[in-house]
């Protein structure tokens, strides 16, 4: 009897061990995702993917954390603090060219640039040339100041005559509203949020695209190491996120309500407005959502290279990893 009990005990232990092994084999991949800039309405679709279980169904346990600008997101992903992030293409290109930062874009979300200069009616600034002799504010790690030289060149502005004021990312709107800077660089996506912050004053918006600039902006990024070691995890994250993006574009208000559930400080009306703008920036059919056109990516690289002194040239393969967006 003792031997039999011993046998049953061993068998039970073996079965339990096997069960743990099976469960472990199917355990969700834990990863940290870092945003480009705080938590805003434009990030709603990540929370849609989280709320609707798209990440869970993809075998992912995702922690969404706030970044302090695209440059910050690139650094966090490179350092492994976050496995995947969201950042502006210019920051990825500059990071690779000047510092050898091993990070690549795996999917593009903003196929059209949302970059703009915001100022107020009555500021004396009605056109780009009026920015000369004025001050512009943004966060030090934002990608927009990095792209401003290209805008200045396209708009015929002497960038040396513009003074930059650097503030924390959450102080940009207040800086403009309180007159601590004449203008700020910001994304058109956040027009509703900015207008609410400066009310009853009215905004004047000068888009980078108004002076003929056409380039890729923000996309999903991952480090070379993660792309190489966990390509399936990256692919699953991209597909689950794009699923959330499709839902958010189809029903911006519902997406904003989900975002508000996780981030109470974000007003549903503002979140809805931001997602509506997102729908005008994404890749449109027949191109798949998130897809990258290599010729356009090359133009983006050329734009950055023409505006900065790069320590070394970069190729498309240096900043973009193909194969993560379903064709």
- Per-residue pLDDT at 144: 86
Q: Domain spanning 29-112+216-319 has what CATH number?
A: 3.40.190.10
The residue extents of the domains of the chain are 29-112+216-319, 115-211
- The architecture in CATH of the region 115-211 reads 3-Layer(aba) Sandwich (3.40)
C-alpha to C-alpha distance for 256 and 241, rounded to whole angstroms: 15
- Per-residue pLDDT at 26: 59
Question: pLDDT > 90: what percent of the chain?
Answer: 78
pLDDT one-digit tens code per residue, 224-246: 999 999 999 999 999 999 999 99
Residue 62: φ, ψ to 5°:
-105, 130
Mean pLDDT of 141-147: 81
Cβ 157 vs Cβ 208: under 8 Å: no
Mean pLDDT of 284-311: 90
pTM summary value: 0.83
Whether the per-residue pLDDT at 21 is higher than 80: the answer is no
Whether the per-residue pLDDT at 207 is higher than 50: the answer is yes
Q: Do domains 29-112+216-319 and 115-211 have the same CATH topology?
A: yes
DSSP codes joined into one string, 275-323: HHHHHHHS--TTSPTT---HHHHHHHHHHHHHHS--SS---HHHHB--S
58 burial (CB, 10 Å; 0-12 / 13-18 / 19+) is buried
């Amino acid at each position: 009897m003792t031997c039999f009990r011993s046998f049953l005990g061993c068998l039970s232990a073996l079965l339990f061990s096997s069960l743990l092994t099976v469960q472990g084999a199917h355990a969700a991949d834990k990863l940290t995702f870092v945003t480009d800039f705080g938590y805003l309405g434009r990030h709603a679709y990540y929370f849609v993917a989280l709320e609707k279980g798209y990440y869970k169904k993809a075998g992912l346990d995702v922690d969404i954390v706030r970044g302090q600008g695209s440059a910050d997101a690139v650094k966090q992903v490179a350092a492994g603090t976050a496995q995947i992030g969201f950042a502006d293409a210019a920051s990825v290109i500059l990071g690779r060219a000047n510092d050898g930062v091993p990070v690549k874009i795996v999917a593009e979300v903003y196929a059209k640039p949302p970059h703009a200069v915001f100022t107020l009616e009555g500021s004396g600034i009605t056109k780009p040339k009026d920015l000369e002799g004025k001050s512009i504010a943004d966060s030090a790690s934002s990608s927009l100041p990095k792209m401003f030289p290209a805008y200045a060149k396209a708009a015929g502005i002497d960038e040396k005559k513009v003074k930059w004021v650097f503030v924390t990312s959450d102080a940009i709107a207040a800086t403009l509203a309180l007159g601590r800077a004449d203008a700020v660089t910001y994304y058109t996506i956040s027009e509703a949020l900015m207008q609410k912050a400066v009310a009853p004053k009215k905004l004047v918006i000068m888009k980078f695209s108004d002076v003929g600039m056409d380039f890729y902006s923000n996309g999903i990024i991952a480090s070379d190491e993660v792309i190489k070691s966990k390509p399936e995890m990256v692919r699953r994250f991209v597909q689950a996120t794009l699923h959330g993006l499709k839902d958010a574009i189809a029903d911006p208000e519902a997406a904003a309500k989900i975002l508000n559930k996780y981030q109470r400080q974000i007003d549903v009306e503002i979140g809805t407005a931001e997602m509506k703008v997102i729908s005008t920036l994404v890749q449109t059919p027949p191109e798949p959502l998130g897809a990258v056109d290599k010729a356009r990516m090359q133009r983006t690289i050329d734009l950055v290279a023409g505006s900065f002194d790069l320590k070394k040239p970069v190729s498309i393969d240096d900043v973009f990893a193909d194969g993560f967006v379903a064709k």
